[in-house]
A and B are shown apart, each in its own frame.
Chain A
Amino acid sequence: DTGVSQDPRHKITKRGQNVTFRCDPISEHNRLYWYRQTLGQGPEFLTYFQNEAQLEKSRLLSDRFSAERPKGSFSTLEIQRTEQGDSAMYLCASSSQGYYNSPLHFGNGTRLTVT
């Protein structure tokens, strides 16, 4: 068990640029979640996948955001036309089955700064 891995750790981009983050979950976990955390706040749910299917998206996930998990393994989160308000820590988590049965395991996150 190597844990949840996220890449990159930090990303600085100019407003209007597109960025893509990657998450590699724990290998046997079939559920994958994306959260966003701003300074001084708890993480906020964005979306989650069961295998390759994206089952739910938060209203926080505007149409500039898209997430994929093409083969049910790693996932990518893309933000198009970034805005300064997108600056945050983007956290990925995975779990082995229905969440109510097992805890979420989080990665160390990708910190995005939009200038």
Chain B
Amino acid sequence: KQEVTQIPAALSVPEGENLVLNCSFTDSAIYNLQWFRQDPGKGLTSLLLIQSSQREQTSGRLNASLDKSSGRSTLYIAASQPGDSATYLCAVSFRGGGGADGLTFGKGTHLIIQP
């Protein structure tokens, strides 16, 4: 079964710290991996998309890496701010996965940045 796992489930850090969120997936045959942010009661905001041929993507203070062979991705957040508090979701588009182009999501990491 194709699954996506995120560790930790929750994380609380003081403002200003750099932090890493982890995502692992069970099948290396993927089209791409996407990181999303979700605020309480809201939809998902796309942060970064990494194609299967890429190793990393950067946007502002965010950097996402992809290692297909080990089935892992990390989301690095530099100089965290209270506004970064949200749930961060990792999603993978598996080749031959359910829903053709459908994404398989992890359960997310609930991040709290303490002012």
Q: What is the size category of the interface that chain B forms with chain A?
A: 20 to 34
B102 and A42 within 8 A (CB): no
Contacts between chains A and B (CB distance < 8 A), count: 75
Assess the B34–A103 pair: CB atoms within 8 A.
yes
Q: Are B34 and A100 in contact (CB under 8 A)?
A: no
Given known A-B contacts A40-B107, A42-B4, A100-B51, A58 and B99 have beta carbons under 8 A apart = yes
- Tell me how many residues of A have a C-beta within 8 Å of chain B: 32
A 47-72 contacts with B by CB, 8 A: 47-48, 55-56, 58-59
Contacts of B108 in A (CB 8 A): 42
Q: Which A residue's beta carbon lies closest to that of B42?
A: A108
B81-115 to A contact mask, C-beta < 8 Å, 1/0: 00000000101010000111111111110000000
> What residues of chain B have their CB less than 8 Å away from a CB belonging to chain A?
4, 31-32, 34, 36, 41-46, 49, 51-52, 89, 91, 93, 98-108
